[in-house]
Amino acid sequence: MNLDSDSRIVMTLDAGGTNFRFSAMCGSKPVTETVSLPSNGNDLPQCLANLIEGFTRVKALCPDAPSAISFAFPGPADYTRGIIGDLGNLTGFRGGVALGPMLEEEFGIPVFINNDGDLFVYGEAIGGFLPHVNRLLEEAGSPKRYHNLLGVTMGTGFGGGIVRNGQLFSGDNSMAGEVWLLRNKLDPATNAEEGCCIRAVRRIYAQEARVPIADVPEPKDLFEIANGSQPGNQAAAVEGFRRLGEVAGDAMGNALTLIDGLAVIGGGVSGAWPLFLPSLVGELNGIYTGPDGNTCRRLASAAFNLEDPAQLEVFLKGQTRTIQVPGSSRTLEYDPLQRLGVGMSRLGTSEAVALGAYAFALGKLG
């Protein structure tokens, strides 16, 4: 799809637990101002009324009639049919709410709803991290190209999504890429989310600094404490982010073993990547030790931190050499270095979700 030249307009929504932010896109860019309304998530009739009002206001701002509505909404849900299940942060949704069909009847256009982790990775696959890495490989003269992408977001939770050969992989129950339910390496009785989110960093800081959790600063302050630019227990802050990287690396390693592609990270904690990305990639490059003492790599391929210039240089260069076809004068370029790369969002999390929602709708419209 050539999104930049597509003239169709898609209305979209950034659905938070507190506020709904409505806008519209055309040619991969916003074409209206943002309309913000409270979510009223514990009052279903008011919540639905706000959704209709928000899209009505945005429609009035569109230069032409919109072709679709597409947005991310919390799960569990039957996203294919537009039915929202029992939500944790929007407690008014109980027993199944046919949100997509309601909006289709109201506005007379197709409505597409997805998980935010899915749309994040889809946006990064179309216009962010994936084409960025492939462009760098092309400029470096490498024959290597990537087609598969794992995306994770770390903030109040730990979300994920998968794109395979340009297609969003949703699964049979709209539940593919649910990385938050992988096991927590450092606390196997809990899920990975408990080690890969804002509260995990705050909890480790409280333990290491021996202070009540209520007295722990917010993650932005913890990042500055870890960097030494704000007073506090620097060692405790550094350890909080290091452990987050270790748990996230273990979870992503399990996923990348099956996906065999690049990985991109976004979310509210992503700005602290200098503190957690080294331990995350170090976990991906870990080893298993068998009963006989023999070892093997955690991943079949070497993992590279693509935010590290030295590692990026090795990743781009590879080990390309020219080989000859036996019994022929024909030669081929061959790069035997099996490698994966991990890096940060190139669009920004909200922007990637919006682009993913826009592209998903156009892809469905044909």
Q: pLDDT tens across 178-199, in order? A: 999 999 999 999 999 999 999 9
Tell whether 143 and 244 lie within a shared domain: yes
Tell whether 297 and 317 lie within a shared domain: yes
Q: So what's the pLDDT on residue 89?
A: 72
17 has pLDDT over 80: no
How confident is the model over 237-286, as pLDDT tens digits?
Answer: 999 999 999 999 999 999 999 999 999 999 999 999 999 999 999 999 99
pTM value > 0.75: yes
Indicate the pLDDT class of residue 163, thresholds 50, 70 and 90.
very high
Select from 171, 149, 166, 167 the least CA-distant residue to 75. 171
Beta strands in 198-309 (DSSP E): 262-266, 287-289, 295-297, 302-305
Structure tokens at 207: 């333990």
Tell whether 152 and 110 lie within a shared domain: no
Domain for residue 364, yes or no? Answer: no
The contacts of residue 121 (CB under 8 Å, 6+ apart) are 149, 150, 151, 160, 161, 162, 163, 168, 177, 264, 352, 356
Domain for residue 80, yes or no? Answer: yes
Mean pLDDT (whole number) for 312-325:
95
Domain for residue 353, yes or no? Answer: no
Domain for residue 358, yes or no? Answer: no
Rounded to whole angstroms, the Cα distance separating 162 from 252 reads 12
Tell whether 213 and 95 lie within a shared domain: no
Tell whether 34 and 133 lie within a shared domain: no
Tell whether 77 and 152 lie within a shared domain: no
Tell whether 91 and 192 lie within a shared domain: no
The contacts of residue 159 (CB under 8 Å, 6+ apart) are 115, 116, 117, 120, 152, 153, 177, 179, 180, 267
The phi and psi torsions of 270 (rounded to 5 degrees) equal: -65, -25
Number of structural domains (the chain) is 2
Structure tokens at 302: 């070497």
Pairing between β-strand 68-72 and β-strand 111-114 as defined by DSSP bridges:
parallel
**Whether 114 contacts 79, CB under 8 Å:** yes
**141 dihedral zone (left: phi>0; alpha: psi -120 to 50; beta):** left
Q: What CATH number is attached to the domain comprising 269?
A: 3.30.420.40
Domain for residue 359, yes or no? Answer: no
Tell whether 106 and 215 lie within a shared domain: no
Q: So what's the pLDDT on residue 1?
A: 65
25 has pLDDT over 70: yes
Tell whether 99 and 176 lie within a shared domain: no
What DSSP assignment string belongs to 338-362?
Answer: -EEEEEE-SS-HHHHHHHHHHHHHH
User: How large a percentage of the chain has pLDDT more than 90?
Assistant: 84
Domain end marker among 52, 87, 114: 114
Average pLDDT of the chain, as a whole number: 94
16 has pLDDT over 80: no
Domain for residue 277, yes or no? Answer: yes
Domain end marker among 84, 114, 144: 114
Structure tokens at 96: 């199944």
Q: So what's the pLDDT on residue 329?
A: 94
Domain for residue 351, yes or no? Answer: no
Tell whether 62 and 174 lie within a shared domain: no
Structure tokens at 191: 């899920």
Tell whether 212 and 310 lie within a shared domain: yes
Domain for residue 14, yes or no? Answer: yes
Q: How far, in whole angstroms, is CA 41 from its chain's centroid?
A: 24
CA distances to 137, 262, 324 from 334, in Å: 14, 20, 10
CA distances to 26, 33, 123 from 150, in Å: 26, 31, 12
Domain holding 203, by residue range, is: 120-346
Tell whether 150 and 40 lie within a shared domain: no
